[in-house]
């Protein structure tokens, strides 16, 4: 089977690796400015919910920059048979929490340059994400245009923590740039702090486990917003990818949204089709963390309801605490080739060239 891991986190030991990619003014901000940890920590507005176990697997503690790659290769890529891995960074996503959008985008751009120079050349299985700071959409759009032609950057990526739902016209300059360069716009769980502190419906929970369960809500808001603000009518080629936000909530949400659209569609006449149709055509969801109900048939029912064989893409989320074990993922047997690999090749245009290899892998089984 040909496997694409759509959420593989490349880390660092110190954010100082970004120094060569920061210019004088922002380098000064980075070196001398206030931050939330000791020298080498990444500046970001942290959330109120501290993970009581930290995020990383206890058995993955690289001691230097080279080991970050070597441990990923030896603990994940090789043993799990990963044929292509989409690197999603780690702390850089949190630039969305910073009030100063200029500094935030400077840090994201430094990350992008760093990943191009220091990660992509290490392994031919690697593909990268073009991280943007969404709080200043024209700056983010400029970054998309600066690097969007790179053959190994497969998506534009932002945290799912936001000041406004992502369908809001405020963000459309980013999608215009994405459509122009032919990259999907993807959101990854994160950024729930700083200028995005009011992240949950009904007020702030107290415990990390509550927050982790409710992080799905932001993805719900963004998905509804992208559809109902007509983003997919305005940018018909745009794909929207939801990473690390769970998948079983999508069907219940879209049942309700379809009903509301049907009853109230004169309010949003630019939404030409039922929301569920936009989901099937434009939206993809990565699997991790895949829900594990007592009765797996209950999960499969809600995944079938969103045409999961077409809309789901495998992700492991190495090296995080709740990484999904590839051998333990239970999906209908006939979905596996699509979900584990082919859907990613159909969704990420920069991966399409891998399809012959994937077909050979399928035939070889």
> Would you tell me which residues interact with a second copy (CB under 8 A)?
52-53, 160-166, 168, 196, 198-210, 212-214, 216-218, 220-222, 224-225, 228-229, 246, 248-249, 251-253, 255-257, 259-261, 263-268, 289, 291-295, 297-299, 301-302, 304-305, 321-322
> Considering all CA atoms of the chain, what is the largest pairwise distance in Å, rounded to the nearest integer?
58
- Between the alpha carbon of residue 170 and those of residues 159, 164, 225, the distances in Å are 16, 8, 12
- Between the alpha carbon of residue 139 and those of residues 5, 55, 135, 143, the distances in Å are 29, 30, 9, 6
Quick one: tokens of 279? Answer: 């989901």
Supply the minimum distance, in Å, between the C-beta of residue 273 and a second copy: 14
- Gyration radius of the chain's alpha carbons: 20
- Is the four-CA dihedral 36, 41, 44, 50 of positive or negative sign? negative
Using the minimum distance from each CB to a second copy, give the nearer residue, 67 or 233: 233
Using the minimum distance from each CB to a second copy, give the nearer residue, 53 or 74: 53
The structure tokens 């369908």 sit at 167
Ordered DSSP codes for 256-289: HHHHHHHHHGGGSTT--S-HHHHHHHHEEEE-SS
Supply the minimum distance, in Å, between the C-beta of residue 62 and a second copy: 23
Using the minimum distance from each CB to a second copy, give the nearer residue, 124 or 325: 325
Quick one: tokens of 215? Answer: 């992080």
Does residue 130 sit in helix, strand or coil?
Answer: strand
* Pair type for strands 84-87 and 153-159: unpaired
Using the minimum distance from each CB to a second copy, give the nearer residue, 196 or 286: 196
CA dihedral in degrees (227, 231, 234, 239; nearest 10)?
-100
Supply the minimum distance, in Å, between the C-beta of residue 206 and a second copy: 7
Does residue 316 sit in helix, strand or coil?
Answer: coil
Using the minimum distance from each CB to a second copy, give the nearer residue, 260 or 357: 260
Supply the minimum distance, in Å, between the C-beta of residue 242 and a second copy: 12
Using the minimum distance from each CB to a second copy, give the nearer residue, 181 or 305: 305
Compute CA 109 distance to the chain's CA centroid, rounded to the nearest angstrom.
17
Supply the minimum distance, in Å, between the C-beta of residue 253 and a second copy: 7
Contacts of 221 (CB under 8 A, 6+ apart): 165
Supply the minimum distance, in Å, between the C-beta of residue 301 and a second copy: 3
Question: In angstroms, rounded to a whole number, what is the distance separating the alpha carbons of residues 286 and 245?
Answer: 8
Using the minimum distance from each CB to a second copy, give the nearer residue, 319 or 341: 319
Supply the minimum distance, in Å, between the C-beta of residue 221 and a second copy: 4
Nearest to 6 by CA among 324, 313, 284: 313
Supply the minimum distance, in Å, between the C-beta of residue 112 and a second copy: 24
Using the minimum distance from each CB to a second copy, give the nearer residue, 70 or 267: 267
**Length of the chain measured in residues:** 365
Using the minimum distance from each CB to a second copy, give the nearer residue, 259 or 352: 259
Supply the minimum distance, in Å, between the C-beta of residue 308 and a second copy: 11
Using the minimum distance from each CB to a second copy, give the nearer residue, 175 or 261: 261
Supply the minimum distance, in Å, between the C-beta of residue 82 and a second copy: 24
Question: In angstroms, rounded to a whole number, what is the distance separating the alpha carbons of residues 290 and 143?
Answer: 32
DSSP letter assigned to residue 90: S
């Amino acid at each position: 089977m040909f496997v694409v891991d759509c959420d593989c986190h490349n880390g660092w030991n110190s954010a100082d690796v970004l120094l060569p990619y920061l210019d004088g003014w922002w380098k000064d901000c980075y070196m001398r400015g206030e931050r939330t940890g000791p020298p080498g920590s990444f500046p970001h507005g942290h959330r109120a919910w501290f993970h009581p176990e930290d995020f990383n697997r206890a058995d993955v503690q690289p001691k230097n920059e080279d080991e970050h790659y070597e441990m990923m290769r030896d603990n994940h890529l090789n043993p799990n048979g990963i044929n292509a891995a989409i690197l999603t960074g780690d702390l850089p996503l949190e630039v969305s929490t910073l009030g100063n959008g200029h500094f935030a985008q400077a840090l994201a751009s430094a990350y992008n340059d760093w990943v191009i120079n220091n990660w992509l050349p290490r392994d031919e299985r690697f593909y990268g994400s073009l991280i943007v700071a969404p709080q200043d959409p024209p700056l983010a759009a400029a970054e998309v245009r600066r690097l969007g032609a790179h053959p190994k950057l497969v998506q534009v990526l932002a945290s799912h923590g936001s000041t406004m739902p992502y369908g809001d016209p405020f963000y459309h300059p980013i999608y215009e740039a994405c459509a122009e360069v032919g990259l999907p716009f993807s959101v990854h769980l994160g950024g729930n702090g700083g200028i995005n502190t009011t992240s949950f419906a009904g007020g702030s929970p107290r415990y990390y486990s509550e927050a982790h369960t409710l992080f799905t809500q932001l993805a719900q808001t963004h998905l509804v917003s992208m559809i109902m603000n007509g983003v997919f009518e305005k940018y018909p080629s745009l794909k929207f990818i939801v990473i690390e936000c769970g998948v079983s909530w999508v069907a219940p949400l879209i049942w309700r949204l379809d009903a509301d659209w049907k009853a109230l569609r004169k309010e949003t006449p630019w939404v030409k089709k039922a929301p569920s149709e936009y989901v099937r055509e434009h939206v993809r969801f990565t699997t991790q963390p895949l829900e594990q109900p007592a009765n797996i048939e209950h999960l499969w029912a809600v995944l079938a309801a969103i045409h999961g064989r077409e809309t789901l893409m495998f992700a492991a989320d190495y090296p995080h605490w709740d990484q999904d074990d590839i051998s333990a993922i239970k999906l209908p047997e006939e979905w596996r080739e699509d979900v584990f690999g082919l859907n990613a090749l159909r969704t990420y245009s920069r991966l399409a060239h891998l399809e012959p290899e994937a077909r050979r892998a399928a035939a070889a089984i």
